[in-house]
Amino acid sequence: METTYEKELFRQIRESVQTPEDLFARLAELRILDETRMRALAVREWIKQQNPVLIHGRPKKGICRPNGVVDTMWQAAEHFKCSFEAIRKYWYYYTDVNF
């Protein structure tokens, strides 16, 4: 059941958007969407699409093997033009943003 506030917000947003991109921009403009969580979600989904080899436990060798998680995080840092530490933070600490 929608409240009067929700109905009014939906009406205002519907009137001001034409495309999904407009909707996304409008929600970000209204600060309904959190920019940090959006970045984290984009990074996490990009890394998952690369299908890294996940290594469970704490191995001493092979953590940086080609197509491993760490290697994929370095590639993500290059792709998103940010630091490896930012990618690492999004991967390990923002685990609640996945759909």
Please tell me the predicted confidence (pLDDT) of residue 4: 94
pTM of the model: 0.68
What is the sign, positive or negative, of the torsion defined by CA atoms of 42, 69, 91, 57?
positive
Please tell me the predicted confidence (pLDDT) of residue 42: 93
Residues 80-98 pLDDT 10s = 999 999 999 999 898 876 5
Inter-CA distances, 81 with 43, 74, 76, 87, Å: 11, 10, 8, 10
**47 pLDDT exceeds 60?**
yes
